């Protein structure tokens, strides 16, 4: 018997750059298209009964990209937070940002904190945005404050202790790796690797990935 529809879903939104390159567009246009798809799939997630959606927005390793791409991403990220938070708030979405905030522009951190505060009472769906995030960095940061005890005690030191472990991790663009994403939380997640580049990941592709999950049998180490 397969699993039920996943309640907690994480996505590695990969392929924005390749999507733009294939169309002769600047990389930032791929990121803009990708951000539009995040918003669309978020609305689908609400329709499909998903309670938590986590998306990989910017990793600790992404700082090594060209200054132009990083600068464009930071500007776009700030604009999206400012422009879309009120709308998401009205739709009942709670926003949380996970990752290191040290080294991030103070104005951008202020917008992130504003979005979290504005949407904090919402319960329809929780959107976790991994920004300046690395799975190993999260574990190191948690270990720094961990004084011993159980796994549950260790979890309390993660960036978002209230975030559930993803039932399903989806990665787009055909790459088959998890790229330092939610290493602790995805210990028993089902993995689906979709061929579509993220800007091409439409509702049908999303439903197909969710369908692949429902066909599996989760054992968590048992038989």
Amino acid 216: pLDDT: 81
Which domain, by its residues, includes 85? 8-134+193-199
In the predicted structure, residue 218 carries a pLDDT above the cut 90: no
Amino acid 52: pLDDT: 98
Residue 218 covered by a domain: no
Residue 74 covered by a domain: yes
Residue 16 CB burial class (10 angstroms; 0-12, 13-18, ≥19): buried
Which residue is listed with tokens 């927005």? Answer: 57
In the predicted structure, residue 223 carries a pLDDT above the cut 90: no
Q: Which two tokens stand for residue 186?
A: 């995805």
Residue 34 covered by a domain: yes
Residue 148 covered by a domain: no
Q: Which residues have a Cβ under 8 Å from the Cβ of 134 and sit 6 or more positions away?
A: 59, 60, 61, 99, 100, 180
State the alpha helices, DSSP H only, in the chain.
16-22, 27-47, 67-90, 106-118, 135-145, 151-155, 203-214
Number of domains comprising the chain: 1
pTM to 2 decimal places: 0.93
Model confidence at 219, pLDDT cuts 50, 70, 90, reads low
Amino acid 5: pLDDT: 85
Return the H-helix or E-strand segment holding 183: none
Residue 175 covered by a domain: no
Over the stretch 73-114, which tens digit does the pLDDT of each residue have? 999 999 999 999 999 999 999 999 999 999 899 999 999 999
Residue 173 covered by a domain: no
Q: What CATH number has the domain bearing residue 86?
A: 3.40.1180.10
Amino acid 222: pLDDT: 55
Over the stretch 23-77, which tens digit does the pLDDT of each residue have? 999 999 999 999 999 999 999 999 999 999 999 999 989 999 999 999 999 999 9
Question: Is residue 10 within 8 Å of residue 168, measured between CB atoms?
Answer: yes
CA-to-CA separations, 76 to 31, 64, 140, in angstroms, rounded: 9, 18, 29
Over the stretch 117-165, which tens digit does the pLDDT of each residue have? 999 999 999 999 999 999 999 999 999 999 989 999 999 999 999 999 9
Residue 52 covered by a domain: yes
Q: Which residues form the catalytic set?
A: 14, 62
Model confidence at 4, pLDDT cuts 50, 70, 90, reads confident
Amino acid 1: pLDDT: 43
Q: What is the DSSP string of 100-149?
A: --TTS-HHHHHHHHHHHHHTTT--SEEEEEEEEE-HHHHHHHHHHH--S-
Amino acid 217: pLDDT: 66
Residue 129 covered by a domain: yes
């Amino acid at each position: 018997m397969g699993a039920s529809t996943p309640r907690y879903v994480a996505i590695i939104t990969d392929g924005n750059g390749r999507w733009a390159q294939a169309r002769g567009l600047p990389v930032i246009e791929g990121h803009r298209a990708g951000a539009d798809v995040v918003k669309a799939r978020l609305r689908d997630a609400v329709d499909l009964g998903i309670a938590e959606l986590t998306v990989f927005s910017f990793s600790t390793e992404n700082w090594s990209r060209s200054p132009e791409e990083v600068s464009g991403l930071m500007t776009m990220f700030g604009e999206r937070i400012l422009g879309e938070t009120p709308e998401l708030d009205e739709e009942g979405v709670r926003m949380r940002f996970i990752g290191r905030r040290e080294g991030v522009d103070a104005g951008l951190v202020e917008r992130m904190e504003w979005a979290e505060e504005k949407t904090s009472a919402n319960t329809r769906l929780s959107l976790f945005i991994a920004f300046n995030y690395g799975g190993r960095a999260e574990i190191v940061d948690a270990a720094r404050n961990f004084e011993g005890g159980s796994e549950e005690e260790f979890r309390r030191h993660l960036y978002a202790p209230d975030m559930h472990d993803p039932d399903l991790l989806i990665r787009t663009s055909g790459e088959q790796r998890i790229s330092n994403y939610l290493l602790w939380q995805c210990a028993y997640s089902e993995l689906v690797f979709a061929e579509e580049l993220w800007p091409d990941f439409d509702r049908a592709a999303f439903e197909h990935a969710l369908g692949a999950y429902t066909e599996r049998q989760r054992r968590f180490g048992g038989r």
